[in-house]
Amino acid sequence: RMGCGFGACVGCSVKTTKGFKKVCADGPVFPADEVLEEI
């Protein structure tokens, strides 16, 4: 769920092997092996 949709509010963050990313600005698609989420 997103707040602003353009990277300002940090609501949609995801942990990746390359650090904290925002789904709205850096994604919404990420290489699966980079994402450090528990499903």
Partner 1 sequence: MSLTDGKKADISVELSGLRLDNPIIPASGTFGFGEEFKELYDINVLGSFSFKGTTREKRFGNPTPRIAECTGGMLNSVGLANPGIDDVIAHELPELKKIFKKPVVANISGFSIDEYVYNCERIDKEDQVGIIEVNISCPNVHDGGMAFGTSAKAAAEVTRAVKAVTTKPVYMKLSPNVTDITEIAKACEEAGADGLSLINTLMGMRIDIKTGRHILANKTGGMSGPCIFPLAVRMVYQVYDAVKIPIIGMGGVSTARDVIELMYAGAAAVQVGAANLVDPYVCPKIIEELPKLCEELGIEKLTDIIGRAHNN
Q: Point out which residues bind partner 1 (CB under 8 A).
A: 1-15, 20, 25
Residue 1 and residue 18: Cα distance in Å, rounded?
Answer: 21
Question: Are residues 29 and 15 in contact, defined by beta-carbon separation less than 8 angstroms?
Answer: no
Q: Least distance to partner 1 from the beta carbon of 33, Å? A: 19
Nearer to partner 1, 21 or 32 (CB): 21
Nearer to partner 1, 22 or 32 (CB): 22
Q: How many residues belong to the chain?
A: 39
Q: Least distance to partner 1 from the beta carbon of 36, Å? A: 10
Residue 36 and residue 5: Cα distance in Å, rounded?
Answer: 21
